Every structure is written in C-alpha cells, then in structure tokens.
Amino acid sequence: MYTSDRSGDQETIFLKNYRRPAFLIEHTDLWVELGEQGSEVRGTLDIYRNPHPDAPHEADLVLDIDQLEVLDCVLDGRPLDKDRWQLTATRLRVEQVPDRFQLVTRVRIHPESNTSLMGLYKSRTMFCTQCEAEGFRKITPYLDRPDVLSRFTTTLVADKAKYPVLLSNGNLVEQVDLDQGRHRAAWEDPFPKPSYLFAMVAGSLSQVSDRFVTCTGREIDLRIYVEPKDLDKCAHALTSLKRAMRWDEETYGREYDLDIFMIVAVDDFNMGAMENKGLNIFNTSAVLTNPAITTDQRFQWVEAVVAHEYFHNWSGNRVTCRDWFQLSLKEGFTVFRDSEFSADMNSRTVKRIETVRNLRAYQFAEDAGPLAHPVQPPAYQEINNFYTQTVYEKGAEVVRMQATLLGPELFRQGTDRYFERFDGQAVTIEDFVGCMQEVSGRDFDQFMNWYRQAGTPLVEVDDRYDADRQSYELVFRQSCPATPGQPHKEPFMIPIRLGLVGHQGDLEFSHEAGQGTELLFELTQTEQRLQLSGVTEKPVPSLLRDFSAPVRLNYAYRSDQLIQLMRADTNGFNRWNASQDYALSELRNLEQAGTAGKLDKAFIEAVALLLTDDQLDPAMVALMILLPSMETLVEGRQGIDLEAIWQARESAREQLAKALGEQFKATYMKLASSEAYAPTAAQIARRSLKNICIAYWLKSDDPAAIDACHQQFMQADNMTDVAAALGAMVNATQASATTLADQCLEHFYQRWQAENLVVTQWLAMQASRQAPGNLARVQALLSHPAYDAKNPNKVRSLIGGFCTLNPDNFHHKNGSGYEFLAQQVVKTDSVNPQVAARLVTPLTKWKNYAEARSSLMRNQLAYIASQSGLSRDLREVVDKSL
Ligand code: TRP
Ligand code: ZN
C-alpha cells in the first residue's frame, strides 16, 4: 500500500539551521499488536502548536516515518481522506491541522525481517526496540526529535505462551489475559521524554531481582531480564548497578526517580547498551558475566556500561539534548561520570592510564583522519555516524578539563545548577558550560573552542634552567593541524598540570601565584612562558600530569630523564607515560636500524627493575612493561611503513623475552595464586602482570613455558587465565606451540560452543592470529555454524578483529586483506548499515600509508563507493574518506 523507503537522499543537516518544533505532543499512546508475520502499531498523539514565541508557524503537520506501511490516519475522530495526507519516503504530511488535536495513525511493520536492529526488531526469540537516534520513526509516525518531550503510555498485545513477559518504560498499570492465547500489558511512564528513550520488549524471559533503598528511603525494584540459561550470569551487573546508584547519590546528589529499574539483555544489538527510561536494553556482552566465561577486562567493562546507562537517567534523560549536535552533552558528560565511578571502584591511576591509552590509539586517530569532527559537530548526513570516539571520549575529556579548572566543589555546584535549572528540558552544550561559568565567575569563551574545533592540539615545550638564580623557565607553544572544513584554528585554553622532578622526587618551587610542588598552568596563547623560582636543582619537568588536557605534548626528554620520571615522579600516570615515551623512542630506533637493531641496555634494565619492584602495584608494572600497541605506533604518522614498525615491535618483544626470560618466569611463578576468583582491582592487577609474563616467557623459547601455558589453559578456573594462555599460544612462533594452539582452539570450541559470548571470543582469537595466511582461516570461519552475519558481536569479532587486531595479515602487501574487508562491508551494508559504516573504518585511514598500500586501500574504498544502493550511513563515511 503506502510503503516508504528512505534510501537515496543524502541530505546534510546543519546545526546552524536548528528551528524549534512547530508542534508539540502532550501525550503519546501506543497500542502494539505483535505478530510473527508483521505487527501493527496504533499511535494516538495529542498534539498542539508550540506556544514558544520563536517557534515557526506551519499550517501542516509533518511527521517522520521510516519504512512504515501507513494504513490509516484519523484526526479528532474523523478518518482523513487520502487527499488530506501525503506520504514521501521519509515524511507523513497532514494538511491544515487545527491548533490542538488528536491524531491516530495505524501502521504495519515487519520486526521479523528487520536486520538493521533499529526500531522494533527480533533478537532470537524476543521482540525488542532501539530508538536512539532516529529509530522511533520505524515504529510509528512521529516528531522524532529529542526536543519534543511527551508522556507515554504503551500497550503490548502478544501471544502469552511465546511472550509471557511484556515490558515498556515506567510502571506496569494493567495486565490482562485475552482470548486465543493472547495477553496484553499496559505501561505508563510519568516522566515526559523524547521518543529516542522509548523502549518495549516481549519475550520468554527470566528475571533476577533485588531492591535498592534510596537516600530518601524510597524502595526501588531492580530487575535484570535474561534468557533462563543466563540467570547465573547477572550477579556482577546487579552489584554494579547498586554501586552506581549509591555513587550517583553521594557524588552528584542524584536519586533515582521511578519505582522500578529494569535491564534486558539481548544478543543482537548494535552497541553496548541503551539508556531507555526505566528500561535499559543491553547487549548480552555488556551484562552477562561469570568467572568461567568472562575476562577481567570484561568484568570491568560491564561495571562501567551498567553505570554509564544508569547515570544517563539524569545526564541524558531528565536533562536531555535539544538536537543531535548536542550528543556530547549527554555522552561526554556521562562517560566522564562513569570513568570517575570506575576510578573510585578500582584503581584511579590504572583507570586513567587505560582511558588515555584508548584515547591516543583511537580518538587521536579519528581526529587526524578524514572523518575528524568537533565534539559538537556543525553538520551531519547520518547521525548514527557521530556516535564516535570524539563525541564520547574526547567529549569526556572536555568535561574533565572543566572539572579540573573549577576544582571539585565548584564543579559540583555547576552540575547541581545544571540539573536543577534544566530538569525536564532539552538543552545545549552551551547551557552546560554556562552553569560552570556562572558558579565559577570564569569566562569560558575561549574554552568553547574545545567543542567547536576538531583536531588534536600539539603543545611543544622548551626549558632553561639557571643554576645561579635557581630559576627555571618553560616555554609553551601550541598549534593544531587542519581538519576537514577547518584549515585554521584559534588557540585552545589548555590546562597543564605540572611538577618538577629532582633526584629525590618532587621539587618545591615558587611562581606568580604562590608556591608548592604542583601547578595548574593555563596555556591560552600560541606561545607563553612560565617562570619558576626557588628551584634548587636542574629539574626534569613532569608535564600534563594525569593527562590534564587531550593534547600531544612534545618535550625532548633524554632517556635518563625518562628513567628518572619512571622512578621518582609522584604522579603515577606520568610514571607510566614516561615508560611509554621511553618505549616509543626505543621502537623508533629499532625501526630505523632495521633487523640489526638492538634495544638499549638501559631500557632492558629499566624493565628488569620494574619486574622486581615490590613497592609498585602489579597493574602499574604490567602497564609500564606493555609495549605501545600498533594503533599507538602508527597513530599520527604519515607514509607508514607497516613492516618496519611491526618488525621493530616484534623484535623488541623478542629481545626483552630473550634477555629477561628467567625474570618473566620467576615473576609468573610468584604471581600464581590459588585464591578463589574475584574481579577485584587487586586480583585483576596480579593476573594482568602474570599473564604478560607468561606471554614473554613463552617468547623466550624456553620449552617449559609451553607446558606452563598449556597447563594454565587446561586448569585455570577463570576465563582471564584461560584466554591469556590460549592467546599466547595462538600467537607463539615455535612450531610445537602452534600445533598445540590448534588443538587448544578446538578443545575450547567443544567446551564452550553453547555460550555465545565465549564463541565470540573464540572467533576474535582466531581473527587475531598472526600466522601467515590467516585470512584463509578467517574466510573459512565465515561459513562455520558459530558465525552469524546478522549478529553485530560476531561480525565485529571476526571481521573487525581481523582488520584491527591482525595488522600483519590485514595489511598484507598483496591487498587481499583490503579486498576481503571491502567485500564484507558491502555485504554487511545490506544487512545492517550501522555495523557496515563502522566496519569500514580501517580503510578510511589509507592516506597515512606509504604508496603501494595506500592505493590498494583507496581502490577498495572506491570499489565500495561505486556500488549502488549503499546506505546513507556507509555512503557518508566512504564519500568523506575518498
Ligand atoms: N546512547 C547509548 C549509550 O550511550 C548508545 C547508543 C546510541 C546506541 N545509539 C545506539 C545503542 C544505537 C544501540 C544502538 O550508551
Ligand atoms: Zn551513553
């Protein structure tokens, strides 16, 4: 009948064209009849003209639609003639509407064949929804924009045997049995919300429940809904949820507002999780844990995602975004909140290091590539493409800088003011920063450049010490490379936390504003000097402590100075950073020297010293001896010669293993433990060091290491140790270890084939295998029963894993890896555009590579671009990268 299709148009939406909605929706009532061959949705909208003086006056009502078969339209009880409403691919226009009216639409949709995983779809046996950013228009015609807030009631009707559990946002108000084995449930959400926070679920689900008593004594019913077989995997998520609820009360004064909070776990999901009001929907990978199937890293990730989605209840739901250009208003702030939560629950320094490592490897790369955009983008074609490292992670850094500049008390006053003033409203990033400005009396004009300019600033530092005067001068220069559409950048306001390290640790010094051992210096100009006095010895500057701003910092450290920082800096983050700078310079040397290159003796000694330092947190030792990842090594470089970088890194690992094999072994033995598994920071720290040691030990060619690895694989009671042992064997070079690895992989699959989340890890492990010719193995796995091209987790682990965790094979100089990716991207695009647009990322970096590779990569991008009928998602990414 009136089926619409939105492919084809590639319109750009601009922030500067924002206009208030002409109409608002007071109440939204959905009646959904779920069926196996199509479902029907009746939407009843109480609509009125937006009374705001700045709202445009429009005679016609225009609603968003996406792949809806519109059956009929009723205005104030009268069925509308076909000439009063018009359909295009993306709009339903109702002509000449009154100032206030009720519109009822009936549509037919097909969740059973919806593979985009947006709107209403089926994941295995259950129905579920994903509406952010623009999925609600796939369910019912609507003003599908975040600045239209409405009160929702939802009625679900479904077969009772197949779908005994029927959920939506808010409180359950009615549950009734109907004839023909059907039943219905009605839910009512008292809080007005934008459509992107709507959710519903129907399935045969079991629940784990608990309760939480809020700071004002209200009792909240907590529920996690999963498939019955997963009931034993919810404890950690539940504990994390309760901790997050308490933390948000204590840290931000935020209390939960409904009487019930539900989490539903689904297998097929485009991202980690979604903060729908009172009904969060999670990727099973972000909820389910138990020691036998979940690694330490995963435990910590689940804790962070559960907290993140919970924190959105205030930063996102109660105070929401005016439009999607403000995405970082909720995402940057919420990532900052969840990272502080994780820091409080675990080790603050370790958490900070992990955050910065990822930021440098992925966000810096994004900021230096063709898809670079400001934290507040000025334009987009497809908003799904802007759920990025920049909006999330750099956005969090920008909030962190505000917290740093204000200090904890003022920052809390700022967030209190923000939540209070804008509760129930859809606001902008400027509204948030405005609160910080008001409570502090500071001017944040220049600071706004962090939101409006893309690119990673570079800060170059020189210094001069005058022993006679005991004075020390630092000279800072800032610049920022051009990014698409922004050839010239204004200077940023860069907070640089710094100290001076002498032989015995931090030095005292005096400056304009006082004295002490640490200073928060504000770099606002292109070039700026800092004079320090009373400096009793020639210091090593410890700059950008705790990574106080998301910049690249250049200071020409000598290796003995880096060793001094690694040993004596009181800032744990900077001790780690010095170890990384040291490793980076060693790897650069090896790269230049080629196969004959030798690691500096002092570097090997520094690693040895770390291994025997009993004062240090083992997690710190692990992080410090871990060489920078390939992503970090190629990031920010041009004309990349991949073999040289890869070989340098492999050679460094081998040299360390050979030189310190005995010590790696000894440390491994020392850290072995028979303690019952718990995902605590202390245990995780020990396991992380232990497992780095076994990998190095294995690389030292000691045959005993292979036995130890095998033993750990067979006997460990937790996935962290099992996966670490298997991962080490899988990437070992000795023939005996490779054969063993094959057997172990097979054994692993036999043991775990019923656990989807483990099968996903199994796929990723094989994808990452560095053995020559591994592409053939990956290709064969595409037709393995364990693989599913419609499941984003599986696609990401196998195809994504091969292209990101296996640089040697993916970047094979015959171009086979690139061709493989291009073909898979095109295939995936017809199934799930969001996943395809992310999967293509490695190819978008073609300009960074040296000639032969860069044209091979570009050719594959061009091949994708030449396909007709690409999704808007993939089209935008590919066109911008060519
Ligand atoms: N808002 C969600 C989060 O931060 C993420 C999200 C956005 C999402 N769009 C999505 C999740 C689409 C799944 C599908 O945490
Ligand atoms: Zn979020």
Model confidence over 524-558: pLDDT tens digits?
A: 999 999 999 999 999 999 999 999 999 999 999 99
CB atoms within 10 A of CB 776: 10
Q: What is the distance in A from the centroid of ligand 1 to the CA of 271?
A: 6
Pocket lining: 270 vs ligand 1, CB cutoff 6 Å: yes
Q: Indicate the top mutation candidate among 115, 130, 796 to test ligand 1's pocket, ranked by most ligand atoms within 8 A of CB.
A: 130
Contact status, residue 744 vs residue 729, Cβ threshold 8 Å: yes
Pocket lining: 274 vs ligand 1, CB cutoff 6 Å: yes
The yes-or-no verdict on residue 9 having pLDDT over 60 is no
Q: What is the distance in A from the centroid of ligand 1 to the CA of 695?
A: 36
Catalytic, 309? Answer yes
Q: What is the distance in A from the centroid of ligand 1 to the CA of 172?
A: 25
Residue matched to tokens 């410090």:
624
Q: What is the distance in A from the centroid of ligand 2 to the CA of 17?
A: 25
Please write down the HEC assignment for all residues of 840-867: CHHHHCHHHECHHHHHHHHHHHHHHHCC
Pocket lining: 268 vs ligand 1, CB cutoff 6 Å: no
Query: Nearest bound ligand to CA 333?
Result: 2
Tokens of 575: 């001790």
Pocket lining: 365 vs ligand 1, CB cutoff 6 Å: no
Q: What is the distance in A from the centroid of ligand 1 to the CA of 702?
A: 47
Pocket lining: 387 vs ligand 1, CB cutoff 6 Å: yes
Q: Tens digit of pLDDT for each residue in 346-401? A: 999 999 999 999 999 999 999 999 999 999 999 999 999 999 999 999 999 999 99
> Given this model, what pLDDT does residue 724 score?
98
Q: Which band of pLDDT confidence, cut at 50, 70 and 90, is reported for residue 737?
A: confident
Q: Which band of pLDDT confidence, cut at 50, 70 and 90, is reported for residue 735?
A: confident
Amino acid identity of residue 450, one-letter, is W
Pocket lining: 271 vs ligand 1, CB cutoff 6 Å: yes
Mean pLDDT of 278-290: 98
Whole-angstrom Cα distance, residue 240 to residue 244?
Answer: 6
3-state secondary structure of 621: helix
> Given this model, what pLDDT does residue 3 score?
38
| Model pTM score | 0.98
Q: What is the distance in A from the centroid of ligand 2 to the CA of 391?
A: 10
Amino acid identity of residue 468, one-letter, is D
Instruction: Please give all residues whose CB falls under 5 A of ion ligand 2, grouped by chain where several chains appear.
Output: 331, 334
For atom 1 of ligand 1, the residue with the nearest CA is 274
Query: Nearest bound ligand to CA 276?
Result: 1
Q: Tens digit of pLDDT for each residue in 556-579? A: 999 999 999 999 999 999 999 999
Closest atom of ligand 1 to CA, residue 272? 11
For atom 13 of ligand 1, the residue with the nearest CA is 271
> Given this model, what pLDDT does residue 104 score?
98
The yes-or-no verdict on residue 7 having pLDDT over 80 is no
Give the percent of the chain with pLDDT over 90.
Answer: 97
For atom 2 of ligand 1, the residue with the nearest CA is 274
Q: 786 phi and psi, to 5 degrees?
A: -75, -15
> Given this model, what pLDDT does residue 734 score?
85
> Given this model, what pLDDT does residue 1 score?
35
Q: Tens digit of pLDDT for each residue in 588-597? A: 999 999 989 9
For atom 7 of ligand 1, the residue with the nearest CA is 132
Pocket lining: 419 vs ligand 1, CB cutoff 6 Å: no
Whole-angstrom Cα distance, residue 183 to residue 153?
Answer: 17
Q: Cα dist. 142→51, 452, 702, 711 in Å?
A: 19, 31, 66, 59
Q: Tens digit of pLDDT for each residue in 28-85? A: 999 999 999 999 999 999 999 999 999 999 999 999 999 999 999 999 999 999 889 9
Pocket lining: 375 vs ligand 1, CB cutoff 6 Å: no
Mean pLDDT of 272-288: 99
Please write down the HEC assignment for all residues of 327-363: HHHHHHHHHHHHHHHHHHHCCHHHHHHHHHHHHHHHH
List 132, 303, 309, 382, catalytic entry: 309
Q: Indicate the top mutation candidate among 271, 285, 305 to test ligand 1's pocket, ranked by most ligand atoms within 8 A of CB.
A: 271
Pocket lining: 130 vs ligand 1, CB cutoff 6 Å: yes
